[in-house]
Amino acid sequence: QVQLVQSGSDLKKPGASVKLSCKASGYTFTSYAMSWVRQAPGQGLEWMGWINTNTGNPTFAQGFTGRFVFSLDTSVSTAYLQISSLKAEDTAVYYCARAYYSGSGSYFMFDYWGQGTLVTVSS
């Protein structure tokens, strides 16, 4: 069965960096892009962007450029999100989600999600 298992919660000081992981199993990792979604406390969902797991090419939404890096280790079917120069407003739960593409219908959907990683940024 498809599973996305994310790394555990993290507490960081402002200005530090954090690297989150999302390990996939139950499917061919390079057959689906991986998206990242942020949810600040009590707020809605924000699509941060995604990474093509074949080419490693990332796409970032506005507001997630510069300090955010998506990367892969295809040998262990794992996607990573690194955030540098952390700010208090980066405090959020970060989800990875598999992006399923239906070629016949030309649509995307996020059909499997990780359990989320809470990142808390506080001095």
Which residues are near other proteins by CB under 8 A?
35, 37, 44-47, 49-50, 59, 61-62, 95, 97, 102, 105, 107-111, 113-116
Closer by beta carbon to other proteins, 64 or else 75: 64
Closer by beta carbon to other proteins, 11 or else 109: 109
Query: Would you state the structure tokens that stand for residue 100, as one six-digit string?
Result: 């399923």
Q: What are the distances in angstroms from CA 63 to CA 3, 49, 80?
A: 28, 10, 18
Q: Distance of alpha carbon 98 from its chain centroid, rounded?
A: 9
Helices and strands in the chain: count of H runs, count of E runs:
0, 11
Least distance to other proteins, CB of residue 95, Å: 6
Least distance to other proteins, CB of residue 48, Å: 9
Cβ neighbors of 74 (< 8 A, separation 6 or more) are 29, 30, 53
CA pair distance 19, 86, nearest whole angstrom = 11
Closer by beta carbon to other proteins, 27 or else 108: 108
Least distance to other proteins, CB of residue 105, Å: 6
Least distance to other proteins, CB of residue 91, Å: 16
